[in-house]
Amino acid sequence: MKKIMFHLIAVILSVVLCLGSSAFAEGNEQTISGNGSPVPKVIFDTDIAYLNDDAIAMFMLAQADHAGMLEFLGVTTSGGNVLVPEATTAALRQLELIGRADIPVYQGTDEPLQGFRDMKTEGRLYGIPNYCGAYWDFGTNDFRDLSVRSPDYLHLLEAPMHGYAETPAQEEAAWDFILRTVHEYPGEVTIMTVGAATNIALALQKDPTLADDAAGIIYMGGDIDCPGNATPAAEMNWYYDPEAIRQSLAANWKSQLIVPDDLAHQIHLTPAIYDRLEAANQNAITKLILENKRTFNAGDSDYVWDVVVPSVFLKPELMVRTEERYITVDSTPGINSGRAVSWHQHWLNNMETGEGFPEGFNKALIVFSIDEESFWDFYIELLSIE
């Protein structure tokens, strides 16, 4: 165990040093040298379900917090895969199951800025999405009537998989928590949004200086150069609330990092990874994964979407190919709703100042590939520490 801890300290030091020189680190420099605290702070905005990619990403953040690599300030729940009452119960209960009920959970909204979609009409006009998260009822194999919903996170329409949590959600709304905390630690807090991002847009509407004071924002979302996984045009997170993403992408963040679906499709969680996890040190997290998720994915491979977000934040050297682009998302209702549109470097345009790029497009760093072998090494190492 001591050997693991020494190794971990070395990893932490290398991460801290690397953060200072990585392409994404501009916003973190103040964190590292500004107030004597070398530990970045993180808010995790999520459409979490049970042992899905959001849950594993949350476990990684909890482990990184435990190891002193970052400070995990809180979870905010959003729509996407599920609705907010379900996401809140899932976040609270899974934090309890891994012994981290001390990490606070704040409820956001699952209602997109443009309102819920009329999926029956949209399905007829534009096609039925391959995946549309909370809009789909896998029980009836049809669109769900979202006017029939759980009244709150303690009274779900369907009994939660691991029961209800004893820990309550926080009273403060997600966007107020985000605003308060980011302003409390200017330049130190990175927001990771791996769901619909409605909470982020609502916070920005209330106070646009959120973007100035945050260290940066990391998104999981968008199909940048490939067909969408929700519709042919759009990736699921950015399809769920395209207007929220459009507004957030246009804000004055110090840095924006996008982990797109293009990248997620290159990384495969295979049975061999579960074998490696089993061979590693066992703790509450690895046991939970092996007992519940391994059987779910038995003999099959799965994608890890959101898990890449904390991974590249903690270990920027995992990123192999990144590209700066000027990007927005089409939030116009229709067949292109949620489509990511991005401009490459262009001889007529200035990447630094944005001069020459159309209005509404904003700069982001997009990760197109990572070192998969090192990613899985880090995944197993971080999840299995004591």
In the complex, minimum distance from the CB of residue 81 to Ca ion, in angstroms, rounded to a whole number: 6
Taking CB under 5 A as the criterion, the residue among 47, 86, 110, 243 binding Ca ion is 47
Nearer to Ca ion, 44 or 375 (CB): 44
Q: Which is nearer to Ca ion, 116 or 303 (CB)?
A: 303
Minimal distance in Å, beta carbon 235 to Ca ion? 11
Joined together, the tokens standing for residue 107 give 């409820």
Does 306 bind Ca ion (CB under 5 A)? Our answer is yes
Question: What whole-number distance in Å separates Cα of residue 333 and Cα of residue 331?
Answer: 6
Write out the DSSP string of 114-131: T----HHHHHHHH---S-
Q: How far is the CB of 90 from Ca ion (least distance, A)?
A: 11
Instruction: Transcribe 278-331 into DSSP letters.
Output: HHS---HHHHHIIIIIHHHTTTS-B--GGGHHHHHHH-GGGEEEEEEEEEEE--
Stretch that binds Ca ion, among 7-15, 54-62, 238-246, 253-261 (CB under 5 A): 54-62
How many residues line the site for Ca ion (CB under 5 A)? 5
Show contacts with Ca ion in window 165-194 (CB under 5 A). 194
- 3-state SS, residue 377: helix
What are the two backbone dihedrals, phi and then psi, of residue 328, each rounded to the nearest 5 degrees? Answer: -145, 180
Q: Does 54 bind Ca ion (CB under 5 A)?
A: yes
241 binds Ca ion (CB under 5 A): no
From first CA to last CA, the distance across the chain in angstroms is 8
The residue with tokens 């470097």 is 345
Nearer to Ca ion among residue 57 and residue 211 (C-beta)? 57
Does residue 110 bind Ca ion (CB under 5 A)? no
Please identify, using beta-carbon distances, which residue of 223 and 306 lies nearer to Ca ion: 306
Strand 189-193 relative to strand 216-220, pairing: parallel
Which has the closest alpha carbon to 60: 344, 277, 359? 277
In the complex, minimum distance from the CB of residue 275 to Ca ion, in angstroms, rounded to a whole number: 26
Which DSSP category does 169 fall into?
P
Which of 349, 350, 346, 330 has the alpha carbon at shortest distance from 338?
Answer: 330
Stretch that binds Ca ion, among 52-60, 320-328, 343-351, 374-382 (CB under 5 A): 52-60
Site string for Ca ion, 201-240 (x = CB under 5 A): ----------------------------------------
Residue closest to 330 by CA, chosen among 321, 340, 344: 340
Residues that bind Ca ion (CB under 5 A): 47, 54, 194-195, 306
